[in-house]
Structure 1
């Protein structure tokens, strides 16, 4: 990689970026990507890193108590109820502020409790780092309150492990149950993951070599209503393999492992195009395994690149590589990420579809942005582990900076209400106080705006430019991945 300095000198450099270098902007360069400086802006593939946010400000934003307060504001509303939640937040309406809720068996039900568990992970594993990177996090609810909220919001979700009508069990179960097991050794959560994985594997059809995504699908343009005639497969399904691989590893189940590998290979073959954009939906003959058609269900058209689908491919193939160490999955993830990066506008925020007409204003999709950034962090980690050059750490940060600079909603904040309690000895105890959220009128309940569930013109219903629960979840997950990378680097240095 060449750097053109201010005096015209050219140098070959490589980039090895760790999360420790984020705060002060210090990086080691180890990449073969074209790089130059123009007017003080770092340029990658024509995209200037001129977003008005420093590395320090990014960390302050990612780990601020104001982000915690957004999640706690919604979570605490359920804690005074007589029964645990059976409805879970999904999205805010375009222009709206309050969450719209869905039934517990809807595919997004696992993301909000998953967000709670990500906050708990920060408390348990990375508290000192978070305090160092975002000093305003000293005032938050007691950890035991957060632990209770995690349990309260998930007690009704275990039953979803038996849902044999969906491929989304990885989304519905793994975001919270994996953390419940890792952090608490929660046996119920462990059993739920195993059951959900067995249920998911039961949707595998050997002739196709994949796990069935949807049983039916109806739009204003086409309808698939008979699973005996049509096998539907979507790119999103790559993200559910992580749970399947995890369970296969725990059980030493070679058949389950092979199901996940076969699914990834089928997706790789039929969903990834020659230019490494991706097809959203493929339809197969379930009896012969023959491909019948390639369509979109949420993108601009059948041949376009729906950006969240592209992001699912990046993260999903990276997760699959991490489990299999099959270099082809890493290469596919890289190529999909390079395509994604090459289509981004300068601000780092993808539109909902890379091929949507540019002559009219198109809505963004921050959920695609944060999923892709998470996948790029996984990619950077894998490449550095292989002693290969990586530009993906800085790409991930560029995207996160864009999201934080443009689509961060107005904050909530924690406030402390002090109370004075008289004791029997006529003394006073001033140590008791309540931590609550100050949530202003007209402020959205989500951390981020600018997400787009579905803007396909033939969709039964279209939502664009709004808050979305899984945009917030992957925003938090990317933050936790940075914390994990920093922790691993520290442990390695201490061992040396």
Structure 2
């Protein structure tokens, strides 16, 4: 798309101020915080935190069936069973590190120690083994037809397993998952059913024959469908574009359709503040989902929709740059933030930059994406105190001839481990400050915790910067 084809913007006052900050920043010191951000994105601690969780399964007799989701008050991961919708994100994070190691090896623990020995790090074969070990039991999820979340459950790891290693099992699971997801498509509504049932302390939808529930989150499952079943993915994107977006470019969380007529029965929230408010992560899902759709289709309307949603997101950010869990909820000292919304939105804005890099607004979205992650890191990055060490082998082996190996190299059976240099317990996630659900009528409310997909999209953001060749061109 050429710059002349890019639609003009009808900016509101907050967005105008954001653009003014961008203009001043480009000519001033906007890039000053970026070295700190680069250090956070590619630090040894980030890799060590993922490894410390993953390596727990190294000595297990069977592949994992439990997967980390969120952290408790002590910062310790709480796990969910393999059929839960977030199961694909932690293995996806491992594959993101493998992708860095293969495509951008300079980004993985690039520093050298003073004795000319490399910083200890897991061997590529160990990481490849754990990637496959953690995903062995996830292939079966591709057969599930009772959920719309197959894109989250399968794509984060299987797409990279295929792209990086031509893993045939991953390819088969991607194809099967796409067909399983497509089974939820309704010709009349022209979209996929998200939930079969939905129960809160305020409402209850328990009869799928009467209600066809579609959530904005479903846009992120379309990448899987576009890969295999293009027309169904396109139809769902158009239906979401029609029903989920308000005139002010904020989004509804849930739309209930009549399966027989396709008409709208109700629009409401399940995780935001109210039916008329804008749930921040839902807005972020929309930004990235419509940008992924644009990348597949090159239809200008999807690019325009993604820009509208991103502009709304940017305009609603507080002064410290970190989104609250809902953009239109009353703000108090106790109002939770949502770092997962920040990370997802930032990834979507990078896709906007990629699409608009030759247009005037392209660098604006890059600036806002970097600023959003930088502000979030400044406030909610867990202390980068994890690092790798080599644990000498406790066994002695006879070696002939004497002196054939450097004593500093050990006997070949030394182990790699992770230590925390802090004297206090540190959260097991990379980021804190996420909010799963703060809806007052939700059966359970979670906020102010670490969250596996906040970390996943944080790592994805770093990989996207590398893939787009932006490291070294953004003031770093």
Q: If the length of structure 1 is used for normalisation, what is the TM-score?
A: 0.85
CA spacing shift, 1:359–1:154, aligned 2, 3 Å:
closer
1:302 and 2:275 matched = yes
Q: 2:105 aligns with which of 118, 127, 143?
A: 127
- What RMSD in Å do the two structures reach over aligned CA positions? 2.5
Range with bigger deviation, 432-441 or 162-171: 432-441
What is the CA-CA distance between 1:138 and the residue it aligns to? 3.9
Q: 1:241 aligns with which of 222, 226, 235?
A: 222
Q: 1:212 aligns with which of 188, 193, 197?
A: 193
Secondary structure of 2:218's counterpart equals helix
1:102 and 2:83 matched = no
Q: Which residue of 2 aligns with 1:179?
A: 160
Q: Which residue of 1 aligns with 2:46?
A: 67
Q: Which runs of 5+ in 2 are unaligned?
A: 1-15
CA spacing shift, 1:487–1:138, aligned 2, 3 Å:
farther
1:413 and 2:413 matched = no
The separation in 1 between residues aligned to 2:453 and 2:299, in whole angstroms, is 28
CA spacing shift, 1:317–1:423, aligned 2, 3 Å:
same
Contact 1:422 1:428 in 2 (8 A): no
Contact 1:282 1:295 in 2 (8 A): yes
> Over residues 442-484 of structure 1, what are the superposed CA-to-partner deviations in whole Å (9 max), with x where a residue is unaligned?
2111000000000000000000010000000000001000010
Q: Which residue of 2 aligns with 1:277?
A: 250
CA spacing shift, 1:62–1:36, aligned 2, 3 Å:
closer
The separation in 1 between residues aligned to 2:164 and 2:470, in whole angstroms, is 16
The separation in 2 between residues aligned to 1:418 and 1:96, in whole angstroms, is 31
CA spacing shift, 1:65–1:235, aligned 2, 3 Å:
same
Q: 1:231 aligns with which of 187, 190, 212?
A: 212
What is the CA-CA distance between 1:33 and the residue it aligns to? 7.3
Contact 1:239 1:315 in 2 (8 A): yes
Contact 1:32 1:389 in 2 (8 A): no
The separation in 2 between residues aligned to 1:89 and 1:307, in whole angstroms, is 23
Secondary structure of 1:349's counterpart equals coil
Q: 2:238 aligns with which of 260, 265, 268?
A: 265
Q: Which residue of 2 aligns with 1:459?
A: 442
Secondary structure of 1:155's counterpart equals helix
CA spacing shift, 1:241–1:163, aligned 2, 3 Å:
same
What is the CA-CA distance between 1:380 and the residue it aligns to? 0.3
The separation in 2 between residues aligned to 1:68 and 1:487, in whole angstroms, is 21
Q: Which runs of 5+ in 1 are unaligned?
A: 1-30, 248-255, 491-496
What is the CA-CA distance between 1:371 and the residue it aligns to? 0.2
> Over residues 114-136 of structure 1, what are the superposed CA-to-partner deviations in whole Å (9 max), with x where a residue is unaligned?
0000000000000125566x778
> Over residues 41-64 of structure 1, what are the superposed CA-to-partner deviations in whole Å (9 max), with x where a residue is unaligned?
7399xxx9879x621121111011
Secondary structure of 1:351's counterpart equals coil
Contact 1:299 1:456 in 2 (8 A): yes
The separation in 2 between residues aligned to 1:361 and 1:87, in whole angstroms, is 32
1:58 and 2:67 matched = no
> Over residues 300-346 of structure 1, what are the superposed CA-to-partner deviations in whole Å (9 max), with x where a residue is unaligned?
00000000000000000000000000000000000100000000012
Q: Which residue of 2 aligns with 1:252?
A: none
> Over residues 49-81 of structure 1, what are the superposed CA-to-partner deviations in whole Å (9 max), with x where a residue is unaligned?
879x62112111101111000100100111111
Q: 2:286 aligns with which of 301, 310, 313?
A: 313
Range with bigger deviation, 421-430 or 440-449: 421-430
The separation in 2 between residues aligned to 1:32 and 1:388, in whole angstroms, is 15
Q: Which residue of 2 aligns with 1:330?
A: 303
Q: Which residue of 1 aligns with 2:95?
A: 117
CA spacing shift, 1:81–1:338, aligned 2, 3 Å:
same
Contact 1:315 1:333 in 2 (8 A): yes
The separation in 2 between residues aligned to 1:485 and 1:88, in whole angstroms, is 30
Q: If the length of structure 2 is used for normalisation, what is the TM-score?
A: 0.88
The separation in 1 between residues aligned to 2:373 and 2:61, in whole angstroms, is 39
Contact 1:49 1:398 in 2 (8 A): no
The separation in 2 between residues aligned to 1:392 and 1:244, in whole angstroms, is 27
Instruction: Work out the number of aligned pairs and report it.
Output: 444
What is the CA-CA distance between 1:389 and the residue it aligns to? 4.2
CA spacing shift, 1:80–1:346, aligned 2, 3 Å:
same
1:88 and 2:67 matched = yes
Greater share of strand = 1
The separation in 2 between residues aligned to 1:135 and 1:339, in whole angstroms, is 44
1:35 and 2:52 matched = no
